[in-house]
């Protein structure tokens, strides 16, 4: 049984062309979500645990910022780069996938509604998931490496 959206994209294509569409549009989508998840994980691990490990957190606590402002800054410093990296990655993927698909299929595959939702809604949510998991892990982790390795377990359901 084939989903209606996929069936519409595969109408009139040879089996080889259908395989290209399936791979470029549907198989790469979950793999794309690993990027914002891991970027936010690495930055959050360094921001939360790395500062404690390097003993630079005390200097931040003496600044005239509130705890909420400090937390918001740490959250945004992990979330914004993850979203930007995923948007830039999407643009690069769109160009290369369309160039490859145009040679085989004769038409461009991107942008399409599935990937628009994926990039604009799901990728930032995945980055937020990585950030949230790293905040929870950072409470117990002693080193950056420990936090990063434990927090990276969030990737397993995507893979």
Sign of CA dihedral 149, 48, 36, 125: positive
- Domain membership of residue 2 (yes or no) is no
Q: Structurally, how many domains does the chain consist of?
A: 1
- Domain membership of residue 10 (yes or no) is no
Q: Which residues contact 112 (CB under 8 A, 6 or more apart)?
A: 25
- CA 120/CA 25 separation, integer angstroms: 16
Please give the residue range of the domain that contains residue 86. Answer: 15-155
Question: What local confidence, expressed as pLDDT, does residue 81 receive?
Answer: 97
- CA 110/CA 91 separation, integer angstroms: 10
Count of Cβ atoms closer than 10 Å to residue 148 Cβ: 20
- Domain membership of residue 123 (yes or no) is yes
- Domain membership of residue 9 (yes or no) is no
- Domain membership of residue 72 (yes or no) is yes
What pTM, to 2 d.p., does this model score? 0.85
The parts of the chain modelled with pLDDT lower than 50 are none
Question: What local confidence, expressed as pLDDT, does residue 3 receive?
Answer: 66
């Amino acid at each position: 049984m084939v989903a209606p959206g996929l069936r519409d994209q595969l109408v009139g294509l040879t089996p080889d062309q259908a395989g290209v569409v399936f791979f470029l549009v549907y198989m790469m989508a979950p793999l794309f979500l690993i990027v914002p998840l891991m970027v936010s994980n690495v930055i959050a691990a360094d921001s939360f645990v790395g500062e404690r490990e390097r003993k630079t957190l005390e200097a931040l606590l003496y600044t005239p910022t509130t705890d909420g402002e400090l937390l918001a800054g740490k959250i945004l410093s992990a979330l914004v780069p993850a979203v930007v990296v995923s948007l830039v990655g999407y643009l690069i993927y769109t160009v290369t996938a369309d160039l490859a698909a145009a040679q085989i299929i004769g038409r461009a595959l991107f942008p399409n509604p599935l990937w628009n939702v994926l990039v604009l809604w799901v990728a930032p949510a995945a980055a937020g998931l990585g950030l949230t998991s790293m905040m929870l892990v950072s409470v117990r982790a002693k080193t950056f490496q420990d936090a990063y390795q434990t927090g990276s377990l969030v990737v397993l359901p995507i893979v």
